Amino acid sequence: MLGVMDLTIPEGLARNCSSQPSRRDWLARLPALVAELQARWSLTLGAPYEAGAAWVAPVTNRPAVLKLGMPHMEADQEIAGMQFWDGEPTARLLDLDVDYNALLLEQCDPGTPLGELPEAEQDVIMAGLLRRLWRVPADPHPFRPLSLMTQHWSEEARQKRDNWVDAELLAEGLRLFEELPRTAPEQVLLATDLHAGNVLQAQRQPWLVIDPKPFVGDPAYDATQHLFNCRPRLQAQPLDVMGRFADLLQVDGERLRKWVFARGTVDPGTEEDADFLSFLRAIAP
């Protein structure tokens, strides 16, 4: 068994935990949590993966992965989401500890990320996975509305309003962040953070989803993370790229464009990126 002081902490995780007291406290307790789960679930662990929002390590004595998530508003209901999707098309949840925010997950073998494929091929696979994820959870359910996340991001953006070089652009993005959740044509369970790094090649199915951050809301929103992870292509041919992906997802292309615009206006660093600001102005409603 690992000793409590023997735990390796990836640099990205340590950096992301350094700015918030709750995360620093969690990181200080992490070695003891891992040691306890290792004993309880009879796990032999390998070296942790490089991850920025969770401590994740392969289990070497069975085909599994251990994950403990840091305190993170967007990911608070990951366990509930993994239970809801139950391996379709996510990695299966083999065991869990809600108090520790710990998941014992099915190992994805060979685990090659979808990002290894050309982006046009990623679009097709990603659209198929998202459409399988979009299911309506029966009431009562534990999941938060997407509006809660857009409100959270809007508050963060307002705190930095003085840094913005285009206040009108930001104001329109904030307006859409209020309007779009209210006018959604349907309410389904979203992954919200699905990009090519969170889709892994596997044996049980060709591709499995990991690391969802579930909220209930407009399916068109779920296009945004993948598109932002393809930013050079998106900025070079915005209407073609967004239109093709909207067609693959069978969502309203105009709503998708508004979501991309709104989310882009509140992304950290946007006001410092002249090329990205030009892109946002070009696609503004």
pLDDT digits (tens, 9 = 90+) for 4-17: 447 999 999 999 99
pTM for the full model? 0.94
Provide the phi-psi class of 104: left if phi over 0, else alpha when psi is between -120 and 50, else beta.
Answer: beta
Q: What are the angstrom distances between the C-alpha of 198 and each of 38, 252, 265?
A: 25, 24, 24
CA atoms lying within 13 Å on the CB side of residue 28: 7
Domain 11-106 matching CATH 3.90.550.10: the answer reads no
C-alpha to C-alpha distance for 254 and 250, rounded to whole angstroms: 12
Catalytic residue among 95, 109, 193, 218: 193
Alpha carbon 203 to its chain centroid, in Å, reads: 23
Q: What are the angstrom distances between the C-alpha of 118 and each of 90, 188, 196?
A: 22, 29, 10
Segment 220-277, tens digit of pLDDT? 999 999 999 999 999 999 999 999 999 999 999 999 999 999 999 998 888 888 999 9
193 is catalytic: yes
pLDDT bucket at 60, cuts 50 / 70 / 90: very high
Neighbouring CB atoms inside 10 A of 248's CB total: 17
Domain 114-283 matching CATH 1.10.3720.10: the answer reads no
User: What is the per-residue pLDDT for 2?
Assistant: 43
Using DSSP, state whether 213 is helix, strand or coil. Answer: coil
* 114-283 shares the fold of 11-106: no
User: What is the per-residue pLDDT for 128?
Assistant: 98
Share of the chain above pLDDT 70, in %: 98
Neighbouring CB atoms inside 10 A of 98's CB total: 9
Mean pLDDT, the chain, whole residue set: 95
Main-chain dihedrals φ then ψ at residue 172, nearest 5 degrees: -70, -40
Q: Following DSSP, what letter does each residue of 242-260 receive, concatenated?
A: HHHHHHHHT--HHHHHHHH
> Domain segments of the chain: what residues?
11-106, 114-283
